[in-house]
Amino acid sequence: MEVAIMGAGLSGLSCAITLERYGITPTIFEKRNIVGDRFVNAEAMFSILNRPTKNWLPYLAENYHINLTPIDEVDKLFIHSKNMIGSIDGKIGHTNVRGRHVDSFENQLSKQVKANIKFNSTYEYKELCKDFEYVVLATGDGEYASRLGNYRCDLTCTIKGATVQGEFTKSNPHVWFNYEILPKGYGWLIPFSEKEADLVMAYPDYPDNIELDINDMWGKFYNLACVNLDQSLIITDKFEVTRYMMGICDKPKIDNTYFVGNCFGAISPGLGFGQYASILTGIYSAYDICNLGTYEELCTPLFENYNHSLVFRRFMESLTDDEIDFGVKNSNKKLLDKLIDKLCSNDSSIELLKLSTPLMRLWNNYKGVKS
């Protein structure tokens, strides 16, 4: 059985590992010259976004033999609004690093693959369709799905970030919601060591935002982070991504072509992460190829989760700075604080995102926001 995987990222490598478990050796085509050949960026994944799965890393290892070691387990997430600072405490998720870092998830997965990876590949999709029985599109974005008329783009985003040096607690990421500085967007600081972290801002490319000066926005956000962290962060590396598509494919599979990872639509619109869904789409496509399941059926919960996350994003965009301040302030009250910590814990299986979607839709309708 001839299987081509186009892309050696999370989903492509997870597909390859799974295929090899069942006796199929795929050919992996990667346009870059090494696995993870791009900027270094840190990410976070919170268990509340992946319910009913509680703790996704042990779940992947136990059920699918996908073994990944995170940077750390998150035990405190700091939430910064315009005038308030709150936190969610307890074991609520993990952080990881991506890209060319030696401990990146891509590099970890590549060590579990036996198949040959053809780097610096110039193969196009049409060529692969002619030469292989199955093609798995794991290209890292929705471009191919869009070209084939199989992609619903809900928004595009501009992302600017940097590796910064300072003093950090690895288990304590920070998130900022400050629409005066980042209209309808957010910022992250995610440490990947005690001395280095990823500082990133992301905002949607709405008409009003396109007119803004990205360097001015970055300067303000960087200064805000330095003030909130009470230290001068030293920038050692920078990256910028413009008009990155956030959306989802209409069909996860067309004929013998599988759309996986970000080509499927694995990124959560709410907070911009999608490691778990990316890996699952790779596994599920391999299951379909091996006749162990139906890709469309296996992906149904991922479609649902994406749509819940999109409603959450529209909800957050509909809020004002004052309303976010109010939410952060009240989340710090003793009883509510304990409830939030419990609901967000790795030990909880309550599908809070799903359960809250009807209420967020009502709010969005009240605010006149399409969700």
Q: Over the stretch 4-32, which tens digit does the pLDDT of each residue have? A: 999 999 999 999 999 999 999 999 999 99
Give the model confidence (pLDDT) of 303-333 as tens digits: 999 999 999 999 999 999 999 999 999 887 7
Could you tell me which of 86, 67, 81, 58 has the C-alpha nearest to residue 17? 67
122 within domain boundaries: yes
State CA 312 to chain mean position distance. 15
Whether pLDDT at 85 is above 80: yes
DSSP state of 290: T
371 within domain boundaries: no
370 within domain boundaries: no
| Residue 151 bridge partners (DSSP) | 249
Q: Which two tokens stand for residue 119?
A: 């780097």
User: What's the total number of domains in the chain?
Assistant: 1
212 within domain boundaries: yes
Angle made by CA atoms 160, 162, 166, in degrees to the nearest 5: 145
* Over residues 267-285, mean pLDDT: 93
pTM: predicted TM-score of the whole model, two decimal places: 0.94
Question: 366 pLDDT band (50/70/90 cuts)?
Answer: confident
Question: 369 pLDDT band (50/70/90 cuts)?
Answer: confident
Asked if 298 contacts 284 with a C-beta cutoff of 8 angstroms, the reply is yes
354 within domain boundaries: yes
Instruction: Give me the pLDDT at residue 36, please.
Output: 81
CATH of the domain at 77: 3.50.50.60
Question: 125 pLDDT band (50/70/90 cuts)?
Answer: very high
Sign of CA dihedral 204, 209, 210, 213: negative
Instruction: Give me the pLDDT at residue 371, please.
Output: 65
44 within domain boundaries: yes
Question: 39 pLDDT band (50/70/90 cuts)?
Answer: confident
Average per-residue pLDDT in the chain? 93
Domain that holds residue 9: 3-365
Whether pLDDT at 37 is above 80: no
Task: State what percent of residues in the chain have pLDDT above 70.
Answer: 99
Give the model confidence (pLDDT) of 169-197 as tens digits: 999 999 999 999 999 999 999 999 999 99
Angle made by CA atoms 172, 178, 181, in degrees to the nearest 5: 120
Instruction: Give me the pLDDT at residue 164, please.
Output: 97
106 within domain boundaries: yes
